[in-house]
Amino acid sequence: MRVLSLLLLVFLFGPAWAQPPSASASPAEHVHDEHCEHEHELTEEEILHRHHQHGQEEVEAGSEYTSAGLHAQVENAPALYKFMIRESNSEPFRLKGQSVLVWRDTAVVCALNLVIIFWFYRRRQ
């Protein structure tokens, strides 16, 4: 019980013990700032052209940020992922009108119950 309590404590407070982010900018932020400063020097047309090129590259690379890229990613996804997408899409329709099928199955099981009960009483007599 004590070990379990200890494990629970680690599970609960583990993330809180993790190092807080440092005050200085991270390498990723630093690169992003440089990128922004460089963009200020470019003209509007050049920026638009660069963004368009970037978008084209993303589509070709199958990036998840574009619809074409997302489609490509889903096509290449593992089977379990594909199945989960299909299940989540069909979920609202799964419950609709299924009660009739459940009642049909219930009737079959009830018939089986009656057979067993009759068989039981016949053997008793």
Residues of this chain that interact with other proteins (CB under 8 A) are 4, 8, 12, 15-16, 79, 82-83, 86-88, 90-92, 95-96, 98-100, 102-103, 105-106, 109-110, 112-113, 116-117, 120
Tokens of 5: 């309590």
> What span, in angstroms and rounded, lies between the C-alpha atoms of 86 and 92?
12
Least distance in Å: CB of 15 to other proteins? Answer: 7
Q: What is the DSSP letter of 63?
A: -
The residue (of 75 and 105) whose beta carbon lies closer to other proteins is: 105
Residue whose CB is less far from other proteins, 53 or 98: 98
Rounded CA separation 28/31 (Å): 5
Contact 62, 72 (CB under 8 A): yes
Closer by beta carbon to other proteins, 23 or else 100: 100
Give min distance, CB of 62 to other proteins, in A. 21
57 or 118: whose CB is closer to other proteins? 118
Query: Smallest distance from the beta carbon of 97 to other proteins, in angstroms?
Result: 9
Residues 6 or more apart whose Cβ sits within 8 Å of residue 62: 68, 69, 72, 73, 76
89, containing H or E segment: helix 79-94
CB of residue 36 vs other proteins: minimum separation in angstroms? 24
